[in-house]
Amino acid sequence: MLRLGRREFGAHEPVIMAIVNRTPDSFYDQGATFRDEPALARVEQAVAEGAAIIDIGGVKAGPGEEVTAEEEARRTVGFVAEVRRRFPDVVISVDTWRSEVGEAVCEAGADLLNDAWGGVDPGLAEVAGRYGVGLVCTHAGGAEPRTRPHRVTYDDVMADILGVTLGLAERAVALGVPRESVLIDPGHDFGKNTRHSLEATRRLGEMVETGWPVLVSLSNKDFVGETLDKPVKERVLGTLATTAVSAWLGAQVYRVHEVAETRQVLDMVASIAGHRAPAVARRGLA
């Protein structure tokens, strides 16, 4: 059982985490939800389309203009509080690696801290433990936040992913994070080249077998773009193909830009796997 905020999710229940970037320079939407009004509209649309988690980020993942912790908090804390007020049952996640920002958003009502940079600030897990909120434990290959990988090598990329994420998960539980609120994430693109991310996808079942819920953040990423030689705006089909494979292998949470399309893919895979009944089943029965 995965428990986040007020919500509980069964073992075979796929969960969509919708991305809402409070940044003026996000790689995909180029700041479309930087202002409050479009960001709140995005939340409303994502929830209507089937997202159970809203992931709010105040700093773009890639290199760019410096964003201080104070500015990151300014972009996220008030918005978290407003989303909490308007959508009391939605799971609110905040994409941050900084413990001081984590503290502030937990005070504002966040249910989950999405640490995409692999515990670079050990205090973030301590914050999650104190507040009893969830934590995403990600493999980033030891990379510093907002840096791109350069000639990264692994003897066995999945062995490294497992070693790091399982260690972070157990530490989180020891610090007070509820075991049922901890997720592990292979960290596609983070500290990895395209071949590493493809292998991590191919071997995702090894993460699922650990028993920890697995989150994947695949949406329009560079490994999809390089694999198909497509620019950012033409990666949706590759993303959805990777989503289907990940769902078949047992990943549970999907951090995405395209909610409605992802919902259809996940529902179809769940029905093929026998975990979901068809919405309509009358063919050949009338």
Q: Could you give the residue numbers annotated as active site? A: 221, 255
C-alpha to C-alpha distances, 94 to 51, 53, 111, 139, 211, nearest whole angstrom: 15, 10, 8, 17, 24
Which of 104, 96, 103, 92 is closest to 120 using CA atoms? Answer: 96
Which of 219, 165, 273, 172 is closest to 20 using CA atoms? Answer: 219
Q: Could you give the CA distance from residue 86 to residue 151 in angstroms, rounded to a whole number?
A: 45
Do 191 and 142 meet the contact criterion of CB atoms below 8 Å apart?
Answer: yes
Question: Nearest 5°: CA angle at 169, between 274 and 90?
Answer: 60
- Which structure tokens are listed for 112? 């989950």
